[in-house]
């Protein structure tokens, strides 16, 4: 998403400037073209030379230098960019932007800017909470400026509170989300994804579970979000970090997953159920840890869980519904039956006994089956690639 994007980074005089050095470097690594402009006060913290070396271009910091790269530099920079990112944004620059002041290069470029502006405020908590700063931020938001809210935590000035510049990966994810929502081929679509395995408690410390890691579902959620979809990820317990820009709902049991899915279902356009849900749950959940008995066997009676996919299929109105079939035998026959019985539009079938497929692996070997009976076999590929291929098919088939 950031590849070939022309980003003007406006650096102002805040202590969080050190993070922005890394940010500029990472933006370039992701293929963005970056030009840095600095306020005079920012140059007291680090020299333009550092940003020049990191960005690969001369840094603009004054309108009066006769810099050779741009004629009438403030106008040229304002016209060159796809996006303006002010980071760190001092209380001072926010006030100047809110008032429409143009008394240095950075504020003048921002006043001339016609493309989107994102500000990343970073300052002492008192400065941030001051009614003047809050009112300036409100004014800027009303005018269409995007504000990446600062985080709370220990600040350089010694106090702990709101005002920290988010870490670089958070800013990058925010930018990716920003461009995805404007340009991604899934923008405007609401996508619900289920992931990981559910757990059914036996007693307070034990459960019946499965080996699903959540990798496939998380890859689909991440990929859909990077393409601009508004994604809700409903996840069983997983060691994975939820993808950025995704609303993640954590659940444990199949019933909880069904409840969460049913709540979001009427609102969503695309549903991909990649979770490995428990088909049965222990009938009686002990309130205390079950002690070792004298008998050699312990019997746990299991009751059937509701079938999430079947329930969603029966209630389908406009949604494009995709299921997963992880099988150890009769893959195609079982997958075909699921498509019919559960009113699916598509199913991703994988034989989890194959090398490089199924639970916990980073790769998958899948077949796509559709409601019209068509079958597509895909080569072994990473779960990220499977996610991309799957979403391509969803987009193509939804249109028909
Ligand atoms: C060591 C130091 C750290 C500062 N950190 C911040 C900060 O994090 N955020 C902020 O809004 N101002 C901070 N300031 C104050 C600004 O540098 C000051 O308001 C300045 O006028 C901002 O100018 P500029 O917006 O043109 O860069 C700091 C000042 C000093 C000396």
Instruction: For residue range 196-206, list pLDDT tens digits in order.
Output: 999 999 999 99
Q: Can you list the domains of the chain with their CATH numbers?
A: 6-179 (3.40.50.1950), 185-399 (3.40.50.10300)
Dig out the tokens for 256 from the structure: 């909880």
pLDDT at 352: 77
**DSSP per-residue string spanning 172-235:** HHHHHHHHHHHH-TTTT-EEEEEESB--EEEETTEEE-----SHHHHHHHHHHHHTT-EEEEEE
Report whether 162 contacts 134 (CB < 8 A): no
Q: Is the pLDDT reported for residue 377 higher than 70?
A: yes
More confident residue, 190 or 355: 190
pLDDT at 68: 54
- Alpha helices (runs of H) in the chain, residue ranges in sequence order: 17-29, 42-45, 48-55, 73-80, 91-99, 105-112, 125-129, 131-142, 168-183, 215-226, 254-264, 308-314, 331-341, 383-399
Report whether 127 contacts 141 (CB < 8 A): no
Q: Is the pLDDT reported for residue 305 higher than 60?
A: yes
**Ligand 1 pocket test target in 17, 38, 90 with most atoms within 8 Å of CB:** 90
Dig out the tokens for 355 from the structure: 């090398």
Ligand 1 atom nearest the C-alpha of 93 is 25
The position carrying tokens 């757990």 is 199
- According to DSSP, the β-strands at 346-351 and 367-370 are antiparallel
pLDDT digits 0-9 by tens, 206-219: 999 999 999 999 99
**DSSP per-residue string spanning 234-266:** EE-S-SSPPPTTEEEEE--SHHHHHHHHHHHGG
pLDDT (average), residues 292-312: 94
Residue with the nearest Cα to atom 1 of ligand 1? 15
pLDDT at 155: 81
pLDDT (average), residues 84-110: 97
Give Cα separations from 100 to 97, 106, 110, 255 (angstroms): 5, 12, 9, 54
Largest CA distance in the chain: 90
More confident residue, 142 or 154: 142
Ligand 1 center from residue 13 Cα (angstroms): 4
The partner residues of 376 in beta bridges, in order of sequence, read: 368
- According to DSSP, the β-strands at 206-208 and 200-203 are antiparallel
pLDDT at 72: 61
What does the alpha-carbon distance between residue 280 and residue 294 come to, in Å, rounded to a whole number? Answer: 27
More confident residue, 69 or 394: 394
What does the alpha-carbon distance between residue 144 and residue 138 come to, in Å, rounded to a whole number? Answer: 10
pLDDT at 71: 54
Query: Which residues surround ligand 1 with Cβ inside 6 Å?
Result: 12-16, 39, 41-42, 90-93, 122-123, 127
Report whether 75 contacts 63 (CB < 8 A): no
Is 261 one of the catalytic residues?
no
Average pLDDT of every residue of the chain: 93
pLDDT (average), residues 363-375: 91
pLDDT digits 0-9 by tens, 179-191: 998 999 999 999 9
**Of 37, 12, 48, which Cα lies nearest the Cα of 122?**
12
Report whether 10 contacts 85 (CB < 8 A): yes
What does the alpha-carbon distance between residue 49 and residue 36 come to, in Å, rounded to a whole number? Answer: 11
**Ligand 1 pocket test target in 13, 126, 161 with most atoms within 8 Å of CB:** 13
Report whether 46 contacts 16 (CB < 8 A): no
pLDDT (average), residues 274-278: 96
Name the catalytic one among 99, 120, 157, 261.
157
pLDDT at 354: 77
Q: Is the pLDDT reported for residue 81 higher than 80?
A: yes
pLDDT at 361: 76
pLDDT (average), residues 274-289: 96
Residue with the nearest Cα to atom 29 of ligand 1? 14
What does the alpha-carbon distance between residue 214 and residue 361 come to, in Å, rounded to a whole number? Answer: 10
Q: Is the pLDDT reported for residue 175 higher than 60?
A: yes
Residue with the nearest Cα to atom 28 of ligand 1? 14
Q: Which of 127-136, 167-176, 327-336 is the least confident region?
A: 327-336
**Ligand 1 pocket test target in 88, 92, 109, 122 with most atoms within 8 Å of CB:** 92
pLDDT at 267: 96
**Of 274, 258, 221, which Cα lies nearest the Cα of 388?**
221
């Amino acid at each position: 998403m950031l590849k070939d994007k022309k980003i003007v980074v406006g650096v102002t005089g805040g202590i969080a400037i050190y993070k922005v050095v890394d940010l500029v470097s990472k933006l370039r690594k992701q293929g963005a073209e970056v030009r840095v402009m600095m306020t005079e006060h920012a140059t007291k913290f680090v020299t333009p030379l550092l940003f020049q070396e990191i960005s690969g271009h001369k840094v603009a910091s004054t309108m009066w230098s006769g810099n050779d790269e741009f004629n009438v530099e403030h106008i040229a920079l304002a016209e060159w960019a796809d996006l303006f990112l002010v980071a760190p944004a001092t209380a001072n620059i926010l006030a100047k932007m809110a008032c429409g002041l143009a008394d240095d290069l950075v504020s003048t470029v921002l006043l001339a800017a016609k493309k989107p502006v994102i500000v990343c405020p970073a300052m002492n908590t008192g400065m941030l909470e001051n009614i003047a700063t809050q009112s300036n931020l409100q004014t800027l938001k009303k005018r269409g400026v995007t504000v990446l809210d600062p985080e709370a935590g220990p600040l350089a000035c010694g106090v702990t509170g709101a005002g920290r510049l988010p870490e670089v990966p958070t800013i990058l994810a925010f930018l990716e989300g920003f461009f995805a929502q404007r340009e991604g081929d899934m923008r405007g679509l609401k996508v619900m994804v289920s992931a990981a395995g559910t757990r059914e408690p036996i007693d307070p410390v034990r459960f019946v579970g499965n080996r699903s890691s959540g990798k496939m579902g998380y890859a689909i959620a991440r990929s859909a979000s990077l393409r601009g979809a508004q994604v809700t990820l409903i996840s069983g317990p997983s060691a994975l970090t939820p993808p950025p820009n995704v609303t993640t709902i954590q659940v444990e049991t199949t019933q909880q997953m069904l409840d969460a899915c049913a709540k979001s279902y009427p609102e969503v356009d695309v549903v991909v159920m990649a979770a490995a849900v428990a088909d049965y749950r222990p009938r009686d959940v002990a309130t205390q840890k079950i002690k070792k008995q004298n008998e050699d066997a312990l019997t746990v009676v299991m009751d059937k869980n509701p079938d999430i996919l079947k329930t969603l299929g029966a209630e389908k109105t406009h949604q494009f519904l995709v299921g997963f079939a992880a099988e150890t035998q009769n893959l195609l026959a079982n997958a075909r039956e699921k498509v019919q019985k559960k009113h699916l539009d598509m199913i991703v079938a994988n034989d989890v006994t194959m090398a490089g497929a199924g639970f916990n692996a980073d790769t998958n070997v899948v077949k796509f089956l559709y409601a019209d009976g068509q079958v597509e076999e895909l080569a072994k590929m990473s779960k990220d690639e499977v996610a991309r291929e799957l979403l391509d098919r969803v987009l193509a088939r939804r249109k028909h």
